[in-house]
Structure 1
C-alpha cells in the first residue's frame, strides 16, 4: 500500500468526512425547487444580516440596529427588492458547483440595483424623526456582495473539494481504477479533471506542469508537481497513465515531453487538439492515443491562403480516388476553400459513400453552398472521365487515384500498370480534351530510383505529365488530331513520402498488433521511411499545385527519415508496455523482424538528382529531372500495353529498366499470373 493511499484510507476519509459526504449527497439529491428555496432563504437571511451589520457599523449602537424599532419597514423591503432582482438576473438558475463569472456578474448587478432602489425608497419615504444615514445603504450593498457572492463561492469550493475526496476514496477502494496524472494544469487540464469526475476507470491523483509558478499549488484539490519529479511520483502515487492536456502547445515541445515520458512505465495519451476543441467536433474528455504527428516534432507551417484558394475558390474541382486516405483529406481541405462544385471520382462504392456523407454533413453544419457530386467509376474509363470533366466544366483535377501498396502491386503487375500508368494517362488526356486548366498528380517518393513495380508506375505517370506539359502541341495517345483540343492544361506533380495513418501504413497495423498483445512485425531493423501527417500533406499538395507553370515536379519537405523499428518501440512504450528483447526477456511486446517484402527497399529518396530549387514556400521544393519526349513515350506506352496483353512480364520489366531512371529490381518477377503460367504454381497467401 502506498503512503498516500494509506493516508486517504485512514484519517482523511473517516469520521467527519463521511458525514460531510453524506450531507453533500443529500444536498445534491434535492429537487431543483427545494434547492432554489434554500438559496432564497439563505439570501434573505444574509440581506437582513448585512443590513443590521451596516446599521451597527455606522451607528455603533445595537439598539439603533434593532429591526423591531422604527426601521423595521426597511428590513422588510430589502429582501423584497433584492431577491426578485437576483432571480431576474438568473442567479437562481446557476448550478452552484459549476458557478462561473456569469453568476458572479448576476450577484453584482442584482445587489447594486437593489441597493439603488433601496436608497431611493429611503429618500422618498424615510421617517423624518429617525433619519437613516446614507452610508448605511452603501455599507449594506458592500456587505451583501461579500456575503451573497462569498456564500456561493464557498459552496462551489465545498462541492468541488468534496467531489475530489469522494473520487479519491472511491478510487482507493476500486482496485481496477487506473491512477492518472494530467500533464498540463491549465484550462484544458482543469476541464479534463472535471470531465473525469464520474469516470470509474480512471482516478486522477496529480497534475504535472512545466510552469514553475504552479508548482506546489493545487488545481481542483490536486497538487501540481514539477515534471522532473515524475520518476518519484510514479513510485509514490502508483501512476499508471499520463494524459497530455496541452492542446495549444507546439509540436516540437510536445515531442520533447513525449520522448521524456516514453521511457517510463506509464501509458501516455492525449486530449484533442485546440482546432478540434474549438470547432466543437470533440470534447476535452475524449482521450486519444498519442498523435503520431507529435512524434515527428514538426510544427506545421501556416498555409498561404492565396495559394490554397487560387485553383479552388468559386471553381469546380474534381478529385480522383476521393475515398482514399489522401483523396478524402484533399476533399476536406478543398471544401474549406469554398469551391462551387466538388466532384468525387471513386471506384470503391463504400469509400465513395463515406466521403460523400462526411462532406455533406460538413456542408450542412457549416452552412456552405458547395455542391457535392459523387461519381462511381474507374480512372481506366477515359470516356467517363471526359464526360464528367466536360459536363461539370472542371477547373482543377487532383489525381490521387492509385494503387499504392508495394507488395500488392508487385504481385499484381498488370493491374498496377493499368491503374497507375494508363489511369493517369486517361485522366490527363480527358483533361486535355475537356480543356481543364489545372491538373495535379499526387506522386510518391517511391518513384525515385525504385526497386518495385509500384514505384515504376508512379515514375511513368510523372513522365506522362511531363511529356504532355512540354510538348508544343501534344497529340494524346490514341487521338489522331490535336487541332481541335482546347487550350493547354497545366500539369503539375507533387511528390512526398508516407503519410501517418493512411490505409496500409504501419501505424494502424502496429496499434492493432499492440492491442492484440504482439508481436509487432517489422520487415528489417534498419528500414527507414519519411512520414508526414495527412492534413499537412493535403494542404501542401494544394499549395504546390497552385505554384507550377507546367511540367513541374514539386517535392515536399518531409523532415528527417524515421527508423520503423524505433517507431514501433516508441508506440509500445507509449502504451505503457515494455519491449521484449534479449536485454529484457520479461518485456510485454516483442518486435519481430520478418524480412523485406517483394519490391521493398530499405531507404526511400525524394530526388532523382541533385538539381533542386527552393520555392516561395519553405516546405515545397522544385525538382528538375530528365524527361522523355511525348512521341518517344507514346512508343513506350504502346510496347507496355502489348506486353500486358501478352502477359509478358519479363518484357514489362525490361521496359521499366529502359525507361525508369535508377530502377533496380531486387527480386524475381513474383506476379501471381506470371508464376502460374511459368510453373503452374497457384500460389499461397500467408
Structure 2
C-alpha cells in the first residue's frame, strides 16, 4: 500500500482529492435535507435534486481547480487552506441556490446554508482523516527515528509540533532541568528529570537527543552534549526559537552543517588510550589558548587529567571564554585551570610564568595565521610568530620544561607569504634550541606541521557560510586552487599523540589526505544549505561562485615537507621528516637582523632577512604597500 502511495504522481493525488470533494457534495446535500425534513421527505427531495447534481459537480471541479483546493498537500493544509475551503463551500451553496431556482425547484434558504456548512465540515474532516491514514502508512512502512527532546520550553514545544506530522522522526518524551515541569505532560509527552536519561533511553529505545535549550550558554550546552555523547547517544542542537520560521525550516535545522561534513574523507580520531603519559598529572602551558587550535588543545588536554593547565593568551575576551568553558568542564575534578593574560614576546613574563607554575609541558599555538593580514603587517607577524617563538622556546629550555611542541603550518614549506616565512623562522629557532640546548638536558622539543583547519576562525568554511547568509556570491581566488584540510578535533588529537611520542628535534607531519579544491568546497557549502550553484550550466541557480584571482603570497597548492620524504612512526597518520636547519651562528644572525629591522620599523630590511635565511622563500609580486585590496582568505 505504501509503495502504491509513493508511486502516485502529483496529478493523480490532485484527482483523488477532487474525487473526494465531489463525492462529499451529495453526502452534504442528503445530510442537509435530513436535518430540515423528515427521512422520507429528505430522500424524495434528494431524488428530485438529481437532475441538477451533474451541473453542481462540474462547477465544483472548476471551483476546486480555480481556488487550488485540490493542489494543497495534506501536510500544508493550514489556516489559509481552511479559509479557501470556506470560500469554496459558500460558492457551492450559492451555485446550488441558482441552479435549483433555474430548474424551478427552489429549496429553503436554510437548507442551502446547511448544505454549505455541512460540506465545509465534511471537507476538513476528510483531509484530517486522510492525513492520519497516510502518516500511519508511512510509520508502519518505515523505521522511524525515536528522539528525546532536551528542553520543554517554547522551542521544544514548537519542535514537537513540527515533528508530529514528520514521516521519519517520532518524539517520545521531554527532559528538562525545571523541576516545576518534571512529572507533567506537555503536548501529550511526559517530562522527566535529566538524571533519568539513561533509563528513558533504554525503555524508550531512543535513537537521538535534540537539545532545544537555546537560552543556555554555549559552554553549558557543550557540557550537556558531551555527557550525552559519552552515553553513546547522537546529539543535535537547535537554534533559538526566533530563528525558526515555519515547520519545514524547523525540521531542516535539526541537522547543523558542521565544518567536518566538508572534509571529503573519514575523520581520524584516535581513542585516547595511548600517549596520555605525556600529559597525565603534568603542569601544561598552552600558548594562544583562546584561538581555534589552542582552545581545542585545552579541551583535549583536559581529558588526559593533567595536574594544572595554564591558559596563556593575549586576547582578554578569548581567554575569558576558554577559561569559563574549561572551568565548567573540569567541575568536580582536582585539575587547576589558570588563566593568564600575556604575550609570548615578553621574555620576563614568560620566564616568571614558567617558574611560578613549574611548567612541564608547553604546547605553543600562539601565532598570527591570517595570510593577507600578516602580508599587510609583516613586522607584527614576524615579531609574534618568529621572535615570540624564540622567546618562549629559549625560556622553556632554560626552565627545564620536559616537552615543547611548536604548532606549525604547511605554509612554512617554501613560503611565498610572510605568514609562512615567519612560521618557518619559528621552526628553525625551535630546531636549533632542540638540538643544541634541550637534547643535552634530556628535554624533548619538537615541531608538528599540518595544513588548513576546517571551521577555525578566519578559515574558508565559516567565510563561505557567512557569504551564503548574505546571499552570495562565494569568493574563490582561483578555479584550480587546492588545500589540505583537517578538522580541528582531528588535528589536535594527532598533535597530542605526536607530542607524546617525540624524542626531540623531530619535525612531525600529519597525513592530511588528498588536497581539496576550494571551488568544490564552495559547491558543497552551497548544496548542503539546499541551494544550487548559478553558473553557465545552470543560469537559474541560486548562488554564484566568483573567482577573484590569487592574492599576493598565495600558492595554488601547498606542501608538507621540504625534502619530499616522510618517515613512518608508530601511528599511521603521523610521520616525521628529516630537514636541515641552520647553525647556531646562522640562527643568531637571522634573529639579530630581524630584531634590528623591527626596532627600525624597516619592512624592506625584514623582508631581506627573511629572503636570506628562509629556504625557498619567494616574495609575492605585489607587496602590502602596492596592493591594499583585501580579499577573504582561503586558509
| TM-score tier after normalising by the smaller chain length | 0.5 to 0.7
In structure 1, the gaps of 5 or more residues are: 16-167, 209-218, 222-244, 249-271, 475-485, 676-680
In the alignment, what sits opposite 1:429?
394
- Report the counterpart of residue 262 of structure 1 in structure 2: none
- Residue 316 of structure 2 corresponds to residue 349 of structure 1: yes
CA distance in 2, matches of 1:537, 1:247: 27
1:417 aligns with: 382
Give the C-alpha shift of residue 306 in structure 1: 5.3
2:329 pairs with 1:362: yes
Of 172, 177, 194, 2:77 maps to 172
Deviation at 1:285, TM superposition (A): 6.3
Matches within 5 A, 1:664-683: 664-671=618-625
Distance 1:426 1:8, change over 3 A: farther
Aligned to 1:325: 292
Which residue in 2 is equivalent to 1:401? Answer: 366
Checking the alignment, whether the CA contact within 8 Å between 1:657 and 1:663 is kept in structure 2 is: yes
User: Once the 2 structures are TM-superposed, how far is the Cα of residue 333 of structure 1 from its aligned partner?
Assistant: 0.2
Q: Deviations over 1:639-677 (max 9, x none)?
A: 111122223323322222222121122323315xxx7xx
Query: Is the contact made by 1:345 and 1:377 (CA closer than 8 Å) also made in structure 2?
Result: yes
1:72 counterpart residue number:
none
The Cα of 1:297 is off from its aligned counterpart by: 4.2
Matches within 5 A, 1:189-208: 198=159, 205-207=166-168
The 5 A counterparts of 1:261-340 are 277-279=228-230, 283-284=235-236, 286=238, 287-303=254-270, 305=272, 307-340=274-307
User: Pairwise CA RMSD of aligned residues?
Assistant: 3.7
Q: Distance in 2 between matches of 1:273 and 1:526?
A: 42
Q: TM-score, normalised by structure 2?
A: 0.64
Deviation sequence 1:18-53 (CA, Å, 0-9, x none): xxxxxxxxxxxxxxxxxxxxxxxxxxxxxxxxxxxx
Post-superposition CA distance 1:170-212 (Å, at most 9, x none): 6432689xxx999x966745658x989855667855449xxxx
8 Å CA contact 1:9, 1:169 repeated in 2: no
The offset of 1:506, in angstroms, is 0.8
CA contact (8 A) 2:164 2:171 kept: no
2:553 to 593, 599, 603: 599
**Structure 1 residues 664 and 656, CA gap change in structure 2 (3 angstroms):** same
- Do the aligned partners of residues 274 and 387 (structure 1) sit closer, same or farther apart at CA in structure 2, a change above 3 Å counting? closer
Q: Following superposition of structure 1 onto structure 2, how do residues 521-670 of structure 1 map, counting pairs within 5 Å? A: 521-670=475-624
2:344 corresponds in structure 1 to: 379
State the Cα distance separating 1:567 from its structure 2 match: 0.6
Distance across 2 between alignment mates of 1:190 and 1:473: 54
Q: Distance in 2 between matches of 1:494 and 1:354?
A: 26
Kept after mapping to 1: 8 A contact 2:208/2:235? no
- Structure 2: stretches of 5+ with no match in the other structure: 1-9, 25-72, 82-134, 173-205, 210-222, 239-253
**Change over 3 Å in CA distance of 1:504–1:559 after alignment to 2:** same
State the distance in 1 between where 2:585 and 2:293 align: 32
In the superposition, the TM-score normalised over structure 1's length comes to 0.60
CA shift digits 1:301-324 (9 cap, x unpaired): 452635441221111000000000
Question: What SS does the aligned partner of 2:299 have?
Answer: helix
Q: Secondary structure at the match of 2:329?
A: helix
The C-alpha deviation readout for 1:340-378, integer Å capped at 9, x for no partner, is 1100000000000000000001112xx221110000011
Note the C-alpha offset of 1:578. 1.0
Alpha-carbon distance in structure 2 between the residues aligned to 1:373 and 1:684 = 41
Distance verdict in 2 for CA 1:460–1:186, change over 3 Å: farther
Match status 1:465 vs 2:426? no
Query: Aligned to 1:441, what secondary structure does the other structure show?
Result: strand
SS in structure 1 of the partner of residue 321 of structure 2: helix
| Secondary structure of 2:433's aligned partner | helix
Count of residue pairs the alignment pairs up: 451
Q: After superposition, what is the alpha-carbon deviation per residue over 1:155-177, rounded to whole angstroms, capped at 9, x for unaligned? A: xxxxxxxxxxxxx956432689x
> 1-side partners of 2:525 and 2:79: how far apart?
28
**How many angstroms apart in 1 are the aligned matches of 2:224 and 2:547?**
34
Partners in 2 of 1:530 and 1:601 — Cα distance? 12
| Separation of aligned partners in 1, 2:356 and 2:75 | 65
- Helix, strand or coil for the counterpart of 2:590? helix
> Are 2:438 and 2:445, in contact at CA under 8 Å, matched by a contact in 1?
no
Closer/same/farther in 2, CA of residues 626 and 487 from structure 1, 3 Å limit: closer
- CA distance in 2 between counterparts of 1:198 and 1:362 reads 28
Q: Deviations over 1:110-133 (max 9, x none)?
A: xxxxxxxxxxxxxxxxxxxxxxxx
- Secondary structure (helix, strand or coil) at the match of 1:599 reads coil
Residues 322, 352 of structure 1: 8 Å contact kept: yes
